Amino acid sequence: MNFKPRDIVDQILPHRTPAQNQAKAYAPANIALCKYWGKRNETLKLPLTGSLSVSLAELGTHMQCRIAETDRLEINGQMQAADSKAFRRLFSFLELFREPGTHFHIQSTNTIPMAAGLASSASAFASAVNCLNLLYGWELSDRSRSILSRIGSGSASRSICAGFVEWYCGEQPNGMDSYAEALDETWPAFRIGILCLSDAEKAVSSGVGMQRTMDTAVLYQSWPTQVARDLPLLRRSIQDKDFECLGKTAEQNAMAMHATMIAAWPPILYWKPESIRTLHRVQQLRAEGVAVYATMDAGPNVKLVFLEPSQSDVQSAFPEMQVVQPFGSTCQD
Ligand code: DP6
């Protein structure tokens, strides 16, 4: 059977009667250490492999939803046109959850720098699901909210949880076993450094990029093997607090993903001269004994991973870097 998003939503939602007139919710953005790149089912956004990420604590999307006369979307205080990409993508998702004739005024505020092209759809879709969950009083589990967010954007499945998060590939055709869960581990010294290198809108979206890579890159055949090696290495390095193994695995995984994109036709080359300069600088820092590693997603920006003791060295090399503490500043190890 070919399941449609609506079938899955029907299966999960207890009802479609709002419990209140408005609700507010939040979801963090996330950065994958083992990437999601390629789908086994396009409409349900079912991945070909599992992935593992870290959520970005206070960097994400705050969303407020009010029942209204007409559909309206404000992002960071700016009203979006009804034919804009953001409006159409969000409302075609929201359509899955409401009765015909119900309209929403959505106000969404991103705390992740949006101009830098870093604001992912992940926190937007996860915060929308969290918000509707409150508006309708569904009291859905994390697992159900992860599945619903995934239908909006694959990586949003991971933005339901804080800390380290694994998204299971699953094998069922309806995708009910493809959801994300937090790992039972914290690492208070863990840091993510965000470098905004370019604010140009990306020419190829991640969805289009991964499909093109699957369709045209012979090298993509090696991707499941890469993930099969990296996922257990990451799980183990998080458990053992083996930062060198974690950093190496995450950087190699990101480079391998980009290798598959470069091998696609037409090639998908998100890298800008500043991205390459940054990657070289990271290698140089490591040669000088600073444990810092890089990861990149579907765009030119570079994110760094390091531990608190290296923070001042990394910050002197990249003074413009924004530092995120995924486990807060007060967590105990
Ligand atoms: C490179 O979740 O944006 O950031 O499911 O098509 O909406 P769709 O794709 P999306 O892809 C994210 C890809 C990535 C890697 C990752 O976050 O795992």
Domain coordinates in residue numbering, the chain: 5-182, 190-324
C-alpha 182 – ligand 1 centre gap (Å):
18
Cα of 154 vs centre of ligand 1, distance in Å, is 6
188 close to ligand 1 (CB < 6 Angstrom): no
CA distances from 140 to 12, 16, 148, 180, 314 (A): 8, 13, 10, 14, 41
Q: What residue type is assigned to position 156 of the chain?
A: A
Which two structure tokens, joined as six digits, stand for 206? 């991640």
pTM of the complete model: 0.96
5-182 and 190-324 share one fold = no
Distance (angstroms) between ligand 1 centre and the Cα of 190 equals 23
For residue 324, the cross-strand partners are 192
The verdict on the CB of residue 303 being under 6 Å from ligand 1 is no
List per-residue pLDDT tens for the chain, 333 residues long.
789 999 999 999 999 999 999 999 999 999 999 999 999 999 999 999 999 999 999 999 999 999 999 999 999 999 999 999 999 999 999 999 999 999 999 999 999 876 545 667 999 999 999 999 999 999 999 999 999 999 999 999 999 999 999 999 999 999 999 999 999 999 999 999 999 888 777 789 999 999 999 999 999 999 999 999 999 999 999 999 999 999 999 999 999 999 999 999 999 999 999 999 999 999 999 999 999 999 999 999 999 999 999 999 999 999 999 999 999 864 333
* The CATH fold of domain 5-182: Ribosomal Protein S5; domain 2 (3.30.230)
CA dihedral 198, 203, 207, 208 (to 10 degrees): -150
For ligand 1, atom 3: residue with the closest CA = 206
Which residue among 34, 35, 36, 271 has the greatest number of ligand 1 atoms within 8 angstroms of its CB, and so is best to mutate? 36
CA of 70 to the centre of ligand 1 (A): 30
Tokens of 320: 């413009």
3 state SS of 306: strand
Looking at domain 190-324, its CATH class is alpha beta
